Chain A
């Protein structure tokens, strides 16, 4: 096919990036005139086709390609704008495309009738452009630009309903927290540039790149700092503890956006970044990554247990899964991390979109009844299985995948991470075992909270009593078809023909990584069985608690409240960082107002007085001299004016006087 159309992968990948940008520009120009989103839709469809047929199929498992175009020159350093196509980047690009496409289709009916829909399409195209560009960037600076752009698009989309105060607060929070990470990224880039003199990934990390020439000691303090800085960037973007706070709040955006940006693609960018520059990290940095990932996974899964907002549960679940991926990177198995990223993208997107469908219907219900209730609160749901059976089935598939049930894609990727973690920990020995054990616990918790979500939403009876249950009906086809597509992608066969072993997964093979630790075959059977069994147990427990009503705990117990409030993290952050920052701001303001301004005003006052003095001098002394001379001349002229009185005799008298004086002078001489 490529031969027929003769499009090289490089050109195709450029088109993939530029098409959404074109859509963004057209949508921005047309504004309100175009609300159908047809441009964005066409752009993403074409991008997906190009990505699938001309890039992914061409590059995957063949020779990596890259292209450079001179960007700009500073001094003697020339920066290239470049495209890098290897297994990792084309996979990531393809994932972004393939997730973005159903989300676009879904959005078409989900966002129907929204007054700001033209902005929605614009932002969505902008995001696609930035995200697709980020995936294939060859230059770290270029990647940073796209990185910022996705952050910006995310900011715009979180605050899409900007009339809502909470949305504005949320996007502000997201933006500010992301800034911390971006700063880290930027410092990392600077360190790399100082070290290597280039930011080109291929030049640094390619087969015969600078990195392997032994110029740089990977364990040096500088490289550790660079690694930590990059990880900081990834932390903020991928919502790692303690910079994860923005992600739950980001759920203020439209659900379709949450699914695309805050579940599947953008938040995974951190993992992608770390995978791209993985060789740079030394043992210390990797350990930090693993520890942070673990903490993130466990804390957010605990938070997820106690949430009532359906989207918040999914948000914490996302954070927890991102923690998994981080752990995978940290233990050196970043191929497993990427694998999980791929599988997670599909089923988490599906979960969000299904939740979106549920919320959509609940909102309809709310709009058609007079009762005011939160359409996202699970306490108001229940029994939706009867009204939305297809959605129920689809969401259940996604939940199973998330819980790591056999035959699903999640089973494979999660097992990959947990098994690798165990192998790594056993190789390292000792205290390192805590990490995989926690991961197992997280897995159990994951199964439990997603079970809770399903049970509370779809089982039992509708808790909110409105008497208009008939208004709740199945989601429209344009929403269901993308969901179905994503559900299909949540099964094992998309990734691996063997449903029980991740070793055969094409992604794992494609991104082949040499592990630093030996494989332990027994674990490959024990762990999947353990995970599945514990998941089943937790589901049974959940079913008993939530469906049969045998809830053993006090809903208001302190532990649950604590978990619901994320251990008071937000408040703690508020107390520790925000308030002091505000105080600092106030102090700075005071300082600025009274001291800086005071100095400035004082200086200006002195200057003013000085200038007044100078004015005085100028007016009375300088001008005085000038005027004085003028006045003197005037007075002299005035004094001698009487000479010119027109009297002939006076003239004569003067003339004769002068003659007399002349003669006297001649005599006396």
Chain B
């Protein structure tokens, strides 16, 4: 029997991996991938909970919304990355330190 907890644990694993990616990776595209991982983990949670809500289908509906948002964010993010690359000739966020004091 697959319980809610199973999903949640998997989701937690994926989320933490995404978190790690976002913080540790030295590549803007990889960071974007990390974000996608975290969103996916969230979507998994939505879907898992959605199983117990037949009347509203809220989980699945918002999972779909989330997918759409993620796609949009990726599109915009990649556009930004391209611009950044054009400007700095790099996509390593370590080298983009204009915010430094």
A-side residues, CB < 8 A to B, are 641, 644-649, 652-653, 656
Contact = CB atoms under 8 A, between A and B. Distances in A.
Contacts of A646: 96-101
Interface of B: 19, 22-25, 31, 93-94, 96-101
Given A644-B99, A649-B94, 12 more contacts: A645-B97, A646-B96, A646-B98, A646-B100, A647-B93, A647-B97, A647-B100, A649-B93, A652-B22, A652-B23, A653-B23, A656-B23
B23 A647 contact: no
Contacts of B101: 641, 644-646
A216 B94 CA distance: 111
> Which 4 residue pairs are nearest across A and B when measured between Cβ atoms?
A646-B100, A646-B97, A646-B99, A644-B101
Contacts of A656: 19, 23
Contacts of B31: 649
Contacts of B99: 644, 646, 648
Nearest to B97: A646
25 contacts: A641-B101, A644-B99, A644-B100, A644-B101, A645-B100, A645-B101, A646-B96, A646-B99, A646-B100, A646-B101, A647-B93, A647-B94, A647-B97, A647-B100, A648-B93, A648-B96, A648-B99, A649-B23, A649-B93, A649-B94, A652-B22, A652-B23, A653-B23, A656-B19, A656-B23
A477 to B, nearest CB: 109
Contacts of B94: 647, 649
Contact of A649 (B22, B98, B100): B22
Contacts of A653: 23
Contacts of A641: 101
A652 B23 CA distance: 7
A555 to B, nearest CB: 113
B39 to A, nearest CB: 16
Contacts of A649: 22-25, 31, 93-94
A653 B19 CA distance: 9
Contacts of B97: 645-647
A648 B94 CA distance: 8
Among A645, A646, A652, residue most surrounded by chain B Cβ atoms (within 10 Å): A646
A649 B99 CA distance: 12
A649 B97 CA distance: 11
Contacts of A652: 22-23
A645 B93 CA distance: 11
Contacts of B23: 649, 652-653, 656
A20 to B, nearest CB: 90
Contacts of B25: 649
Contacts of A647: 93-94, 97, 100
A656 B19 CA distance: 9
A309 B31 CA distance: 127
A653 to B, nearest CB: 5
Nearest to A645: B100
A646 B93 CA distance: 9
A647 B24 CA distance: 11
B89 to A, nearest CB: 17
B15 to A, nearest CB: 12
Contacts of A648: 93, 96, 99
Contacts of B100: 644-647
A663 to B, nearest CB: 13
A213 B101 CA distance: 101
A647 B99 CA distance: 7
A507 B50 CA distance: 148
A637 to B, nearest CB: 10
A320 B100 CA distance: 110
A641 to B, nearest CB: 6
A648 B99 CA distance: 9
A646 B94 CA distance: 8
B49 to A, nearest CB: 21
Nearest to B31: A649
Contacts of B24: 649
Contacts of B22: 649, 652
Nearest to B26: A649
Among A645, A648, A652, A653, residue most surrounded by chain B Cβ atoms (within 10 Å): A648
A644 B97 CA distance: 10
B20 to A, nearest CB: 10
Nearest to B23: A653
A654 to B, nearest CB: 10
Nearest to B101: A644
A641 B101 CA distance: 8
A645 B97 CA distance: 7
A649 to B, nearest CB: 5
A520 B96 CA distance: 137
Nearest to A657: B23
B98 to A, nearest CB: 6
A644 B96 CA distance: 13
A652 B97 CA distance: 14
A656 B94 CA distance: 18
A644 B93 CA distance: 14
A428 B25 CA distance: 137
A641 B31 CA distance: 25
A644 B31 CA distance: 20
A593 B96 CA distance: 78
